[in-house]
Chain A
Amino acid sequence: MTIDAEVQALSRVPLFQGLEPSKLRLLAFISDRIEFQDGEHLCHQGDDGDSAFVVLSGKVAVFVDENEVARVGQYAIIGEIAILCDVPRTATLRAVGTTHILAISKDDFLKLIAEFPKVSLEIMRVLALRLEKTTRELAQVRPAST
């Protein structure tokens, strides 16, 4: 698998959707491609988060308090909050079958943002949209609960 395939995977990640292909390529290049065997852990709940994971192939099971809550597949991004702010991991991640992951480290991602302000604008936009969506959903839920 070459960097081009990774760029494609990154371009499908909503958080990076607005980025130019050249920046995606740079992001892919500075990230680590890691192979996980079946059952190997990507991270543990409560650890310090230091990188986000993009699933290139295979599946990853998500555990919260030792209960599996989800299972994600190709092109999913997991733990992306960790690369934007310091929060402990909220879930344990485990590879299901041989899985290839692109790990984007927090330090390098922040450096990339510092380097290219446009990237941060794009990401801000995506986050704002998410926030707006969450707020709207919350507003819909609240009258019903009171």
Chain B
Amino acid sequence: MEKSLFQFIWKNSARYQMAILLVTILSYPVSYILLDLPKTITNEAIQGSNFPVELFGIQLGQIQYLAVLCILFLLLVVVSNCIKLYLNVYKGRLGERMLRQLRFELFQRVLRFRLPHFKKVSSGEIIPMITAEVEDVGGFVGEAFALPAYQGGMLVVQIGFIFMQDPLLGLAAISLYPVQGYIIPKLQQKVVRLSRQRVKNVRVIADKVGESISGISEIHSNDTSAWHSADLSDRLYRNFRIRFDIYNRKYFIKFVNNFMNQLTPFFFYFIGGYLVIKGQLSIGALIAVIAAYKDLAGPWKELLAYYQMTADVSVKYQTVVENFDPPDLYDKQRLLDGESLVLKGPLTLDKLGLSGAGTGRGVHGVSLNVEPGKPLAVSGVDGSGRAELLQMAAGLLSPTSGAVSINNTNFESMSESTLGRQIAYVGGHLHVWTGTIRDNLFYGLRHRPQEKVEYEGSELKKRQRQLKEAAMTLNPHFDLKARWEDYVRADAGSMQELEDKALELCKVAGFSRDLYLLGVETVINPGEKEELNGSLIPELVEARKALREKIQNDTKLQNLVEFWDPEKLNMSANLAQNLFFASPKEHFMTIEYVPADPQISAFLKKTGFDVLLTDVGLQIAKTMVELFADVSTDSDLLNRYSFISREELPEFARIVNEQKGEQRRKRLRDVDRVSLIALALKLIPAKHRLGVLDDDMCEKILAARKQFMETVGKDNARFEFFDPDTYLTTLSIEENLVFGHARLDRRDARLKIQQVLQELVRERDLINPIRRAAFDYQVGIAGAKLSSHQRRSICLVRALLKNAHIYVLDETASSVSATDMALREELRKLLSDKILMFGVSNESVAEEFSAVVYLENGRVIER
């Protein structure tokens, strides 16, 4: 990568820089005439006397001449501003493009780092480099050549003018430049050094913040927040000192510059005055020189600012780029090569060596041959070199000596499109991507887009523009919207078949039960995947009815659920659900927000429920305040039972207090009303038993429920009504099937219902569709919502699905438990024609395999 900023800019944008320069030079005459024209207008057109004037062969009177000149002036104003606009847009666009290219190049380099390099760099440091630190480069690129050329040109012209008036004065004008030229870079050097420190310090800060976030549970469990606070605070202080130092020096440079600039006129007055007195220079010339010198200050200042900015941006560029140039970077071709070889035959590990670099985790002279269909167990405890050996066999780690090859082709010479498709590796450290289970299972099939998306009309134009920009910035042209899953690789013909295949493999991996449990929790949206969910939705609605019947007809299950019934209040649901009898489609619509929503608040006002609910809320608040008033603040009774949290209690106590006297409602503030209504809406009658709902109120709620549906309309964009015949896209599958609330006053009601549900699902053959629905389950940040078993299962299925030739499994299904044992058996069967290397730390597990190598301290030992 280019070591200096200017190399980078010139190499990637020389053409555009020339264009900018050209247009800049073109704008010189325009600006010059524009500056000169007002003088002509005042001197010749307004104060002139020799009329008529001849212009391009036409005789013009004074007024006409004035008009012509003014129109010319207007024209030039327009042209000059158009050039400026064009130039600025051009520069801006060039800057943004270069920024994009730089960022992409940096990211691509991250992809080319070898694994061991990631032990030395942290994401906390890399992220600010790619994002914030290079930001300024974008703004600088457009000015890199144009600004010094333009302002420098101006400067030369002005100085030339002064020299033409009098060489001595010219010398006086530039007499201090050498001094400035010596002092300012000296000062700037220090600023550059400080800038470097600042950048590095900020990186450390970013890294520390990142580490605190990932280690947050350690911080809490060890009471080390004070230590981390002090650590960060120390860094921030260092940052403050560096920044303030930079600030001081920068302004000192400005100060020196200003001082010197104002010192020069001293020579003018002295030398120029002397010359005038001696009669060697006219007074007019002296005044002209002094005026010209004033004009020098502008370009000079600009150039100085440019110089400072160049230094600043260069430092940033260099401090970033030096981190992305490790000597052992993978070749770019390895990443970009699209050709994928099909590997066949045995895998050979020839005298593999890996230097442990003092960690004691090296590998020494291991030679192995693994035939397809003859699984090999690699047994060794942690630190025996097992993990490293397997990573080398999977082509992830490059050996320091020896070679891994298949059919005499060294892994080192293969591209990632071969290695990544022909080898499947599940190791000790797993990663599950943020997204859905589907994204994760099919991740191993997403090598390149599999089809071309056909665009039309304006979409086509947008896509073409995107492609053009990609080409200009050396970005890839792959279409993110296309289908990336390679069906053929997984022996499937369609998404449906691929999912079937994945379901089968999930069964093998022991992930089916989890899939069901995640599936019932999944919220599916039939609109999105019509072809897959189309038939499922009606079936689920049918199952809902069957479940209801089953529960109602079974004496043991009776009364366990309160179903959504348009004609009845649901005592186990909160008032909001009871009143609106709907579920909001927007995620921000929490109960706290509901009363403030314009549509809802209008409805509440219309039906008089604003007053009713405020009263209910006030009553609840009163009771809560009474009940919990003298409970000490550190008791968790309040937070567990009340629907007012400890923090909110004083606020509600105040409202209750204010509402004691007469004429109370008048004094009620809108904010308070909203919180009271929200409080009322949270009430669950069966749980809270406060007796605030009398029969009259219940009837009103039922009436309002109908009214609400009529007001907003059945088909609206914001709410979904609890209609027994409709599948609700805002509820999970379980909520849709049960279609009510497990009764809160029945013990273990939810558990019993779930059992019944599972039976019913099995009877009606819905278990597979529900598992399939789990593919749309959001796994949280890096799979945080999944258990470690689930994460491992997903990674295993991901590996199995891609039909690789070589399987390297480490620390996967390697325990002595019966389930793992069965899974190993299944895996051996499933991968009977593949190369399988299986890493275990337990020797009794290793003995299950016909071929075993034992590792100790990075060497194969005899058993």
Query: Is the CB of B635 closer than 8 A to any CB of chain A?
Result: yes
Query: Is the CB of A6 closer than 8 A to any CB of chain B?
Result: yes
Closest 7 CB pairs of A and B: A2-B691, A3-B689, A30-B641, A35-B745, A26-B627, A33-B745, A34-B745
Knowing A2-B691, A4-B691, the reply to whether A35 touches B746 (Cβ < 8 A) is yes
In Å, the complex CA distance between A35 and B559 comes to: 9
Knowing that A1-B689, A37-B555 are A-B contacts, what are 16 other residue pairs whose CB atoms are under 8 Å apart, sorted by A's residue number?
A2-B691, A3-B689, A3-B690, A4-B691, A26-B628, A29-B627, A29-B641, A29-B688, A30-B640, A30-B641, A34-B746, A35-B743, A35-B745, A37-B558, A115-B631, A115-B632
Check if B635 sits within 8 Å of A115, measured CB to CB. yes
**Nearest chain-B residue to A2 (Cβ)?**
B691
Query: Is the CB of B747 closer than 8 A to any CB of chain A?
Result: yes
In Å, the complex CA distance between A142 and B357 comes to: 84
**Which residues of chain A are within 8 angstroms of B558 by Cβ–Cβ distance?**
37
CB interface residues, A 2-58, toward B, < 8 Å? 2-4, 6, 22, 25-26, 29-30, 32-37, 40
Q: How many residues of B contact A (CB 8 A)?
A: 24
**Nearest chain-B residue to A4 (Cβ)?**
B691
Query: Is the CB of B636 closer than 8 A to any CB of chain A?
Result: yes
Convert B597-632 into 0s and 1s, putting 1 for each residue whose CB lies closer than 8 angstroms to a CB of A: 000000000000000000000000000001110111
**Which residues of chain A are within 8 angstroms of B627 by Cβ–Cβ distance?**
22, 25-26, 29
CB interface residues, B 14-29, toward A, < 8 Å? none
Check if B745 sits within 8 Å of A30, measured CB to CB. no
**Which residues of chain A are within 8 angstroms of B628 by Cβ–Cβ distance?**
26
Check if A115 sits within 8 Å of B746, measured CB to CB. no
Interface of B is mostly: loop
CB interface residues, A 100-142, toward B, < 8 Å? 108, 111-112, 114-116
Check if A112 sits within 8 Å of B691, measured CB to CB. no
Knowing A112-B637, A115-B631, A115-B635, the reply to whether A32 touches B745 (Cβ < 8 A) is yes
Q: Can you report 18 A-B residue pairs in the complex whose CB atoms are below 8 A from each other?
A: A2-B691, A3-B689, A22-B626, A22-B627, A29-B641, A30-B637, A30-B640, A34-B747, A35-B746, A37-B555, A37-B556, A37-B558, A40-B747, A108-B637, A111-B637, A112-B637, A115-B631, A115-B637
In Å, the complex CA distance between A142 and B555 comes to: 51
Q: In whole Å, how far is A97's beta carbon from the nearest beta carbon of chain B?
A: 13
In Å, the complex CA distance between A121 and B686 comes to: 32
The tally of CB-CB contacts under 8 A between chains A and B is 53
**Which residues of chain B are within 8 angstroms of A116 by Cβ–Cβ distance?**
630
In Å, the complex CA distance between A108 and B642 comes to: 13
Partner of A3, one of B631, B632, B637, B691: B691
**Which residues of chain A are within 8 angstroms of B690 by Cβ–Cβ distance?**
2-3
In Å, the complex CA distance between A3 and B683 comes to: 14
- Which of A4, A25, A37 has the largest count of B CB atoms less than 10 A from its CB? A37
Check if A2 sits within 8 Å of B689, measured CB to CB. yes
In Å, the complex CA distance between A15 and B640 comes to: 25
**Which residues of chain A are within 8 angstroms of B689 by Cβ–Cβ distance?**
1-3, 6, 29, 33
Q: In whole Å, how far is B692's beta carbon from the nearest beta carbon of chain A?
A: 9
**Which residues of chain B are within 8 angstroms of A26 by Cβ–Cβ distance?**
627-628, 631, 637
In Å, the complex CA distance between A4 and B690 comes to: 8
CB interface residues, B 832-853, toward A, < 8 Å? none
Q: In whole Å, how far is A46's beta carbon from the nearest beta carbon of chain B?
A: 18
Convert B137-155 into 0s and 1s, putting 1 for each residue whose CB lies closer than 8 angstroms to a CB of A: 0000000000000000000
In Å, the complex CA distance between A30 and B641 comes to: 6
**Nearest chain-A residue to B631 (Cβ)?**
A115
**Nearest chain-A residue to B746 (Cβ)?**
A35
**Which residues of chain B are within 8 angstroms of A40 by Cβ–Cβ distance?**
747
Q: In whole Å, how far is B572's beta carbon from the nearest beta carbon of chain A?
A: 11
**Which residues of chain A are within 8 angstroms of B559 by Cβ–Cβ distance?**
35, 37
CB interface residues, B 631-661, toward A, < 8 Å? 631-632, 635-637, 640-641
**Which residues of chain B are within 8 angstroms of A4 by Cβ–Cβ distance?**
691
In Å, the complex CA distance between A34 and B572 comes to: 12
**Which residues of chain B are within 8 angstroms of A22 by Cβ–Cβ distance?**
626-627
**Which residues of chain B are within 8 angstroms of A35 by Cβ–Cβ distance?**
559, 743, 745-746
**Which residues of chain B are within 8 angstroms of A36 by Cβ–Cβ distance?**
747
**Nearest chain-B residue to A36 (Cβ)?**
B747
**Which residues of chain B are within 8 angstroms of A112 by Cβ–Cβ distance?**
637
In Å, the complex CA distance between A43 and B403 comes to: 68
Convert B550-561 into 0s and 1s, putting 1 for each residue whose CB lies closer than 8 angstroms to a CB of A: 000001101100
Check if A111 sits within 8 Å of B745, measured CB to CB. no
**Nearest chain-B residue to A1 (Cβ)?**
B689
**Nearest chain-B residue to A3 (Cβ)?**
B689
**Which residues of chain B are within 8 angstroms of A25 by Cβ–Cβ distance?**
626-627
**Which residues of chain B are within 8 angstroms of A1 by Cβ–Cβ distance?**
689
In Å, the complex CA distance between A112 and B627 comes to: 12
**Nearest chain-B residue to A108 (Cβ)?**
B637
**Nearest chain-B residue to A42 (Cβ)?**
B747
Q: In whole Å, how far is B292's beta carbon from the nearest beta carbon of chain A?
A: 88
In Å, the complex CA distance between A108 and B631 comes to: 13
Check if B635 sits within 8 Å of A111, measured CB to CB. yes
In Å, the complex CA distance between A124 and B628 comes to: 24
**Which residues of chain A are within 8 angstroms of B688 by Cβ–Cβ distance?**
29
In Å, the complex CA distance between A36 and B626 comes to: 31
Q: In whole Å, how far is A110's beta carbon from the nearest beta carbon of chain B?
A: 11
Convert B691-724 into 0s and 1s, putting 1 for each residue whose CB lies closer than 8 angstroms to a CB of A: 1000000000000000000000000000000000
In Å, the complex CA distance between A116 and B630 comes to: 9
**Nearest chain-A residue to B637 (Cβ)?**
A111
